[in-house]
Amino acid sequence: MLPHTPSETPPSNLVDLAEDHYFSANPPPKDLKKHVALAKEFIDSHAAAGRRLVLVTSGGTTVPLEKQTVRFIDNFSAGTRGATSAEYFLEAGYAVLFLHRQFSLLPFSRHYSHATDCFLDFLREGPNGSVVARDEDAAKMLTVLRKYREAKDKNMLLSLPFVSISDYLHELRSIARLMKPLGPNGLLYLAAAVSDFFVPPDRMSEHKIQSTNAVDPLRNKNPSPANEPETFDNFDSSPAVPRSKRLVVDLDPVPKFLKNLVEGWSPEGMIVSFKLETDPTILVHKARYSLDRYQHHLVIGNLLSTRKWEVVFVSPGMEDNWIRVPFSRGAGTKENEPVDPKSLPEGEPPVEIESLIIPAVEELHGKYIDERRRATGK
């Protein structure tokens, strides 16, 4: 294993200053108060019942380039991990607070949305002007519908949306703080793909960024006279594009709030984070580094190309534990190393890997609850 450099972790008083600064400079989402009220009612009712509750975060966060946002930077995440995990947590008896990117995949409806087929393809006209499921889809749809209705009717599932990175962080902080009454029965399962970089509000344009100088006269700027050649950059390989016509995006790092989450926002719950990489040679090191740095309970590492086939559990004092969908691996492959994506079978895995991840997380959460109870005598 490569050496760590824990000295990079800032002291906690600086962490708090960074937190105060970030949350006062970046405005909360407009529905935060409403979401907090819904989350509080949901969490308190499950805490009173002594039930386990998991906060699942899911999907990507946007990085707006303008305050009145026309353009934003996004990432690949469709929310498959989060939405699928939520279903298996429900099956395991957890109440699920599903904090997800708006319009990303949702538990249960994921079986019919974002599919290559349109959801209308699953339906046909029934008798007397009714609409029914197609015969070949009806059995599965009925099973999914029953599970969904049961989760909703028993108040086991609450879904709250976010869009941008700052919406996500405001929502996460507020909801994590509400989880205190759950004690160790609270679980935070952070599967969202959170942006590492953003445009701070003091450098963000209020209006749509312009791509021509057509409005310069309205703003008393001097447009370049029509026949005067533009000044050309020559510091890169495309000097044919004048600097005035480029959009140069200058991003700051998003502060890392996992330490604040562990120490301040939700010190009693079990915290599971995900680590995504594309380079197989650094995955385990980065997962272990994150665990050492933030001192939480479990990091689940996964690679972009193989994330539906295998993940690695990295937790304190334990050997790395690879969890894999069953498939025949090439000769000479090692159990404790990432699989070569070229050796994977074509198409989707035969089972959803979340059906293996959630029971393993549930078991660790059970141990965590027992340890906390022994330690606190509660």
Tell which one of 166, 260, 302, 315 touches ligand PAZ (CB under 6 A): 302
Shortest spacing between CB 80 and ligand PAZ, in angstroms: 3
Site string for ligand PAZ, 85-114 (x = CB under 6 A): ------------------------------
Tell which one of 78, 175, 188, 357 touches ligand PAZ (CB under 6 A): 78
Shortest spacing between CB 75 and ligand PAZ, in angstroms: 8
Q: Which is nearer to ligand PAZ, 47 or 187 (CB)?
A: 187
Q: Which is nearer to ligand PAZ, 199 or 272 (CB)?
A: 272
Shortest spacing between CB 22 and ligand PAZ, in angstroms: 17
Distance (Å, whole) CA 316 – CA 288: 9
Q: Which is nearer to ligand PAZ, 204 or 258 (CB)?
A: 258
Site for ligand PAZ in 130-169 (CB under 6 A): none
Tell which one of 62, 77, 166, 306 touches ligand PAZ (CB under 6 A): 77
Cα-only R_g, the chain: 24
Stretch that binds ligand PAZ, among 8-16, 32-40, 186-194, 316-324 (CB under 6 A): 186-194
Distance (Å, whole) CA 342 – CA 332: 14
Shortest spacing between CB 123 and ligand PAZ, in angstroms: 27
Site for ligand PAZ in 241-300 (CB under 6 A): 274-276
Q: Which is nearer to ligand PAZ, 81 or 170 (CB)?
A: 81
Q: Which is nearer to ligand PAZ, 42 or 168 (CB)?
A: 168
- Count the Cβ atoms, other than its own, within 10 Å of residue 145: 14
CA angle 284–288–290, rounded 5-degree value: 120
SS in 3 state form for the chain?
A: CCCCCHHHCCCHHHHHHHHHHHHHHCCCCCCHHHHHHHHHHHHHHHHHCCCCEEEEEECECEEECECCCCCEECCCCCCHHHHHHHHHHHHCCCEEEEEEECCCCCCCHHHCCCCCCCHHHHEEECHHHCEEECHHHHHHHHHHHHHHHHHHHCCCEEEEEECEHHHHHHHHHHHHHHCHHHHHHEEEEECCECCCEECCHHHCECCCCCCCCCCHHHHCCCCCCCCCCCCCCCCCCCCCCCHHHCCCCCCEECCCCHHHHHHHHCCCCEEEEEEEECCCCCHHHHHHHHHHHHCCCEEEEEEHHHCCCEEEEECCCCCCEEEECCCCCCCCCCCCCCCCHHHCCCCCCCCCCHHHHHHHHHHHHHHHHHHHHHHHCC
Stretch that binds ligand PAZ, among 46-54, 106-114, 179-187, 189-197 (CB under 6 A): 189-197
Closest CA to 99 of 178, 20, 24, 22: 178
State the amino acid at position 269 in one-letter form.
G
Tell which one of 95, 96, 99, 191 touches ligand PAZ (CB under 6 A): 191
Could you say whether residue 193 binds ligand PAZ (CB under 6 A)?
yes
Distance (Å, whole) CA 112 – CA 122: 8
Q: Which is nearer to ligand PAZ, 180 or 285 (CB)?
A: 285
Shortest spacing between CB 313 and ligand PAZ, in angstroms: 13
Q: Which is nearer to ligand PAZ, 78 or 172 (CB)?
A: 78
Site string for ligand PAZ, 29-68 (x = CB under 6 A): ----------------------------------------
Site for ligand PAZ in 315-374 (CB under 6 A): none
Shortest spacing between CB 314 and ligand PAZ, in angstroms: 13
Q: Which is nearer to ligand PAZ, 110 or 365 (CB)?
A: 110
Shortest spacing between CB 229 and ligand PAZ, in angstroms: 45
Shortest spacing between CB 147 and ligand PAZ, in angstroms: 20
- Count the Cβ atoms, other than its own, within 10 Å of residue 178: 21
Q: Interface with ligand PAZ by CB under 6 A: which residues?
A: 77-81, 191, 193-194, 274-276, 302, 307
